Structure 1
């Protein structure tokens, strides 16, 4: 205990998640988007988005006629959406990673403390990196609820928490 006490002056905690300074290219904090994904959100959309109803969509051999959003500069006959609510369902990737891995993290910390002669900075750093990896795995593996069909069409695949991979790359840890 005395050795732990003397070594703990250098490191008291590990912080893992979406730390200050992580932003999307437009300046939006990654933590804000991660929070929306984790807890869900409801957005009151004012409407006014242009769309067409005679678009050919689908893969070759399975094409069909459906509606599709178009850019503001689209030339041709369009319709416009009315005001509506957009619901982003919660995708509990962060809490799931914690629930699934908290015992393994505690065990890894205990093992590392023994192996490092009670060096808290090194041990917390190792566990922080394990936590980062487990949270990233949770982001990659997340599939339910799936993206909306319109989002799948836009992205070309159905990985609800991956698009630009900015959130995935922003998971970080630090020892203080």
Structure 2
């Protein structure tokens, strides 16, 4: 008689199945508080990310993703190894990646200097940082994991 002993294969299959639709989203997510004038965080982020007639493009999400692409690939390889070894799961690994990316995007917002604000904008907001006025958008950068 042959006895089948599962040494983790069923767990691995289950985790791989979860990976099919799982993802992390990073940025200004739905539900972020609006500005006092009613402008949503998503609108302000979009205008800065892509630019308008009056606002130059100051990418902080796409540029961070491009700059950190290799880092995120390495992180997800390590997290996949942890999932296969049973020391992590898909949700936890995506949460780790989301927190990392959230920190990178927030750092980009704090350190982005170019293109600089117009002198009139600097005078109005008393700051030369192009992406920070009140800090509302910075605090609104978040992540979520969908399974």
TM-score higher than 0.5: yes
Which digits, 9 at most, give the CA deviation of each residue in 1:59-107, with x for residues without a partner? xxxxxxxxxxxxxxxxxxxxxxxxxxxx111112221101111111121
> Greater strand percent: which structure?
1
**Which of the two has higher C-alpha Rg?**
1
Q: Which residue of 2 aligns with 1:6?
A: 14
CA–CA separation in structure 1 for the residues paired with 2:113 and 2:70: 24
CA contact (8 A) 2:35 2:41 kept: no
Select the residue among 52, 70, 75 that pairs with 1:103.
70
Change (3 A) 1:4 1:134: farther
Where do residues 74-153 of structure 1 align in structure 2 (5 Å cutoff)? Answer: 87-116=54-83, 117=86, 119-153=89-123
Give the equivalent residue in structure 1 for 2:138.
168
CA contact (8 A) 1:162 1:168 kept: yes
Q: Which runs of 5+ in 2 are unaligned?
A: 1-8
158-167 or 104-113, larger mean C-alpha shift? 104-113
Q: CA deviation at 1:38?
A: 0.9
C-alpha distance in 2, partners of 1:15/1:2?
28
RMSD value, Cα: 1.9
**More displaced, 162-171 or 4-13?**
4-13
Higher RCO, 1 vs 2 (CA within 8 Å, ≥6 residues apart): 2
User: Secondary structure of the residue that 1:88 maps to in structure 2?
Assistant: coil
Give the TM-score taking structure 2 as reference length: 0.81
1:2-46 deviations in Å (ceiling 9; x for gaps) = 64440243871111111101132333221111010011112xxxx
Give the TM-score normalised by the residue count of structure 1. 0.69
Structure 2 Cα separation of the partners of residues 169 and 148 of structure 1:
24
Aligned residues: 132
